[in-house]
Amino acid sequence: MDIITNDEVAVSGRVDPTLSFAIDTTTVGFGTITSGALRYATSDTNGSGSAPGNGDPITLTLSTNADDGAVIELRDQNTNATSGLYSTDTGTTLASAASTAVSAGTANFGAYGKNASGLTIAESFDHDSTADVAISTTFQTLASVAAPVSNGSLDVSLVSAVAGATPAGAYSDTLTIIATGKF
């Protein structure tokens, strides 16, 4: 009888870390903002007097195999180094505010997440009046996930308003949105 002393086979493999993050549009707009009502940004840049539907104006999609998930962060990059929509014509800023604090007749601007699938919107940006915050010039958590995710998504909405005395002009801002895997 033959006895085999080497009857085990070592098997190994590797799964590389992955992170995929997509922003479906990089230009949105409010159109003409008037003092009597809220104005919502839309992906066609015309804006709307009512909150946009699902998938508008910005949809973020995230996939990662990070064991502890990922975080999506947002920050405001106003030309004036403050937070809000800025007019180079007038030197005026429509200051950032919590999305639920933006109201007709006030000059401000806010952002919030909605329509999340596979991701959790941060309490500070869920548009529910509980601990909502203004966009900042430093990164803030917009959404997260605590485990690997495939095609997690959420929409980002923007709302603005102006006061009757808000100077006329073109107002703009740049939002930076990043995703970081928690490997």
Per-residue confidence (pLDDT) for residue 38, from 0 to 100: 97
Looking at residues 158-181, what average pLDDT do you find?
96
Question: Dihedral, CA atoms, 30, 127, 166, 90, nearest 10 degrees?
Answer: -70
DSSP letter, residue 101: G
**Mean pLDDT value across the chain:** 94
Per-residue confidence (pLDDT) for residue 41, from 0 to 100: 98
Sign of the torsion angle spanned by Cα atoms 183, 176, 165, 92: positive
- Omega before 52 within 30 of 0, i.e. cis: no
Round to whole Å and give the CA distance between 175 and 97: 14
Is 153:118 a contact under the CB 8 Å cutoff?
A: yes
Per-residue confidence (pLDDT) for residue 80, from 0 to 100: 73
Looking at 2-16, 18-32, 106-120, which range is the least confident one?
2-16
